[in-house]
Amino acid sequence: MKSIAVSAPNLQDHCKQTPTRRSLLIATLLTAAIATTVLSPVNQGFAKSDPAHSAINLADINVNDGFSDLVKAVRPAVVNISVTGTTQSAGNTPGLNKQSPQMEEFFRKFFGQIPQRQNSQGQQETYERKTTAVGSGFIIDSDGLVVTNNHVIKNADSIEVVFEDGTRVPATLKGIDSKTDLALLEIKTDHPLPYVIFGDSDQAQVGDWVVAIGNPFGLGGTTTSGIISARGRDIRSGPLDDFIQIDASINRGNSGGPLFNTRGEVIGVNSAIYSPNGGSVGIGFAIPSTMAKSVISQLADSGVVERGYLGVHIQALTAEIAESLGIENDDGALVTQIIEGSPADQAGLEAGDVIVSYDDKTLSKMRDLPRFVAMTSNGSKVKVKVWRNSSYKTINVSIAVNEEPRLASALPADKNPIPLGLKLASVDKEIRNNYDLDEQAAGVIIIHVEPDSSAAQKGLKPGDIIRRVNQSDVTVPVDVTDAIKQSRKDNKDSVLLLVERDKKSQFIVVSMRA
């Protein structure tokens, strides 16, 4: 029997390794490679997408004795995705000169690549290679709309949808969304197709049973089951991460496949695994259906995704910063900068505001805000509740379309207090020239940091601009001094600085203790 080598690189650029777990990486569920290589990076908008009109009958599903009824009902709508593409390669065997055509064919046949070689000028030559890969998908409309992952079809020259009985149908790409790793395909047939419906992933709870169906390693129609292990996982694959974690076994090739609840509704799109070796270790991740529905609906309508734009830079609200602002807990997002002319600017949001709820949805963590904003449609009027000057305030904001890759930029949280050890100066013409600042630069600039101070350890350096101390803007060094004196009179142990560097701002708590 001819063996098939399957290989896929872990996506180290999608998720940083931690020092204590360098061998354990987040890996996108790369499609299983056949013979050559892997293509790297897996409703409310549909009128027919409800149980009453579904081509698949979910009424008779009984999971008391297992999942066989569920699988029989939904499996006809789960498909395999076959992709062919072309990649540029220089091989990986250095130091060899031009080989004979027979030798090149040998390497292509048995290794899927040819050795690196040099031309007559000593320059490295590159080659085009044909690649074939497989993934998973599911039909969401009787006319032939198919959901899968963006990384499954990325760089594809041709795409085919393969049905359970082996029938292959050419597919066209209707739209992609790289931020959520979703893609929508379209196929044409002479008969209505069975399809599944999206459920409400917000109702899914940790401990609920789930069933995954897909095409791991090219083994189509594979069913696995498990439970929801966690919600709201951030695997650092993008700014909108909100994954469902599952322990149902999923592997390379499961990308783009559906995750079902026990009612036969799709509550997730299987997308990534946490693995030291590329295989399943019982930690998988699925895109929630509440996010997927909105994206897929827009792709179906126009082929593109429009996201809401607020126009703020934010950072995490630490317990230390919360205490300095007088807010009871550290839930929410701390605004560090307002983009000029943005909806936030026009509505009157300010740097130093702590956003605690958005459109009546409470922020339990900073990264909730970019996701909430992104899912807001253009022109929507939303209520933003903020903590400002020791009291809550509700501000009405008219959300615009995000035309640039900036939803709500997150800056790293500051966790360590620092003592004062700074020499300051006003931002004047000479300072602007010396530090290459633009005309809009305003505040008090740091011109020296004591080498042994915690300020130096924290990374504050000459050229940083202090724009605010506590709740007051500062323009001259005495403003900073007065604010520090007032904080001491108020028996505070620290002051809160808004520091700008390279046109990006961040709040830092500065301890006044010796």
Question: Which residues have a catalytic role annotated?
Answer: 151, 181, 255
Structure tokens at 437: 């600042």
> Is residue 70 helix, strand or coil?
helix
> 463-472 b/e with 16+ CB inside 10 Å = b?
bbbbbbbbee
Q: Residue 182 pairs with which residues in a beta bridge?
A: 149, 177
Cα gap 254→29, rounded to integer Å? 7
* Nearest-10 Cα torsion for 272, 275, 278, 283: -50
Residues 6+ apart with CB under 8 A from 272: 26, 27, 28, 29, 42, 235, 237, 243, 284, 285
What DSSP letter does each residue of 233-283 carry, written as one string?
E--SSSTT--EEEE-S---TT-TT-EEE-TTS-EEEEEEEEEESSSS--S-
Which residues, in sequence order, are bridge partners of residue 96?
117
DSSP single-letter state for residue 120: T
In terms of DSSP bridges, do strands 258-260 and 156-162 run parallel, antiparallel, or are they unpaired? unpaired
The two tokens of residue 373 are 């904003």
Secondary structure (DSSP) of 303-355: SS---EE--EEEEE--HHHHHHHT-SS--SEEEEEE-TTSHHHHHT--TT-EE
CA distances from 20 to 24, 277, 324, 388, 412 (A): 9, 17, 33, 39, 20
Report the distance separating Cα 344 and Cα 490, nearest Å.
32
One DSSP character per residue, 467-487 reads: EEETTEE--SHHHHHHHHHHH
Exposure string for 181-207, b = 16+ CB within 10 A, e = fewer: bbbbbbbeeeeebbbbbbbebeebeee
**Residue pair 168/82 in contact by the 8 Å Cβ criterion:** yes
CA gap 474, 480 in Å, rounded:
6
| Nearest Cα to Cα of residue 377 among 399, 408, 405, 358 | 399
Question: Nearest-CA neighbor of 260 among 300, 182, 208, 217?
Answer: 208
d(CA 106, CA 113) in angstroms, rounded, equals 9
